[in-house]
Amino acid sequence: MSRILFCTWQYYPVPAGGAERQARLQAEELVRRGHQVTVVCPRAPRAPIGDINGVSVLRLRRSRRRYLDSVTYFLNLGRYVLIHGRRFDVAHVHLANLQADVVVAVARLLGLPTHVKVANSGTYGETRRLERVARITRWYGLRHATSVQALSEETRGELLRIGVSADRIVNIPNGVLLGAKRAPAFDRAAVRTALGLPQEGGIVLYLGRFARYKGLDDLLEAWRAVGRDGWTLLFVGEDAADQPFGALPPLPGLVVHPWTTRPDTYLQAADILVLPSHSEGMSNALLEAMSTGVAIVASDAGAASEMLEHGRSGYVHPTGDVDQLAGLLDAVMGDGDLRDRLMQGAQDRVKSYGVPYVVDKLEDVYRRIGRPG
């Protein structure tokens, strides 16, 4: 049994991004295997503290003043690790922002091994976005962590570029709960009714944060070009704190629903998942769609081209290529047999991304770098 400290930017049930959702899946699987997992994250209004499905969750105070919230949180995070770090065998940081610099710096003083996950790559990935800050920090957390996790070859290349040694980089993907089955037609009708969605016609689903770097402008332009009657373009999510998209324009067939803790219900209702992102790590929405058996059209940002076999388990287009996005959407929307083949191919492909497989890999890392548990 190991005592593992998870450091995340948020934790369930607070609305969160893919890195935090992965943290929850991994924490609960580690607990099922007999490990002790403590999650430390910023405090959020009405968010529970204490035991959540066997995981001990501590939410640290931070200032409510803009520009001071992150600073005060990082100070409190560093203080927590300094006081309590010796209780743990390894510290696992789930987003390589400044929290990685703080945790790694304090952990090194205590001799506490650290594992840092880089959750995103590309223009808006951690290494690119922190370039200004890195003039001072020199990517301290990434370059001094005991182990650094890359989700894709793109991420690995970025880490090598900033000076992370190859022997400390481990390629471990995100994971998904397997076993989801696509609802039969009569059940899908009930799901759509419960969600307030049209019963007739097809649904193209975008599931995630509404951010500029998610390629939403590309998707809206492609939707205008396709213009198929009887289809709905469904956006489910909320405006991102970073690079928010803002108000979505009124378009025929466009429906917007708020962020949900049950993305699986929307995947059951949809026919196609579209992910036109310009910057990704390994998309949770993409993994969940593959597990459920939804036809997928995605850009090649991040790990998408490694996850999907183009034409067999989904369609992958060059990032930012609106014409190809529109053409692929039009093809998949117009051919039910093609959608069925892509759905089956995705479910076959996703078997290698199950949460147990990912946690097996993490346990290997913890055993290699951690204190004896």
Ramachandran region, residue 116 (left: φ > 0; alpha: ψ -120 to 50; beta: rest):
beta
Q: Report pTM.
A: 0.85
What integer pLDDT is reported at residue 372 of this predicted model?
64
**Is residue 368 predicted with pLDDT exceeding 80?**
yes
Distance CA 318, CA 122 (A): 13
**Is residue 373 predicted with pLDDT exceeding 90?**
no
CB atoms under 10 Å from CB of 61, counted, come to 10
Tokens of 279: 């910057």
**Is residue 359 predicted with pLDDT exceeding 90?**
yes
What integer pLDDT is reported at residue 52 of this predicted model?
96
What integer pLDDT is reported at residue 262 of this predicted model?
87
What integer pLDDT is reported at residue 132 of this predicted model?
78
> What band does 243 get if pLDDT is binned at 50, 70 and 90?
confident
Across the chain, mean pLDDT equals: 91
Residue 236 makes CB contacts below 8 A (sequence gap 6+) with 205, 206, 207, 208, 256, 257, 258, 259, 260, 263, 266
State what percent of residues in the chain have pLDDT above 70.
97
Which domains, ranges and CATH numbers included, belong to the chain?
3-175+354-369 (3.40.50.2000), 185-353 (3.40.50.2000)
* pLDDT 10s digits, 263-305: 889 999 999 999 999 988 889 899 999 999 899 999 999 889 9
Tokens of 170: 């481990």
Residue 311 makes CB contacts below 8 A (sequence gap 6+) with none
pLDDT: which is higher, 182 or 213:
213
**Is residue 344 predicted with pLDDT exceeding 90?**
yes
DSSP state, residue 244: B
Distance CA 364, CA 102 (A): 25
**Is residue 185 predicted with pLDDT exceeding 70?**
no
**Is residue 237 predicted with pLDDT exceeding 70?**
yes
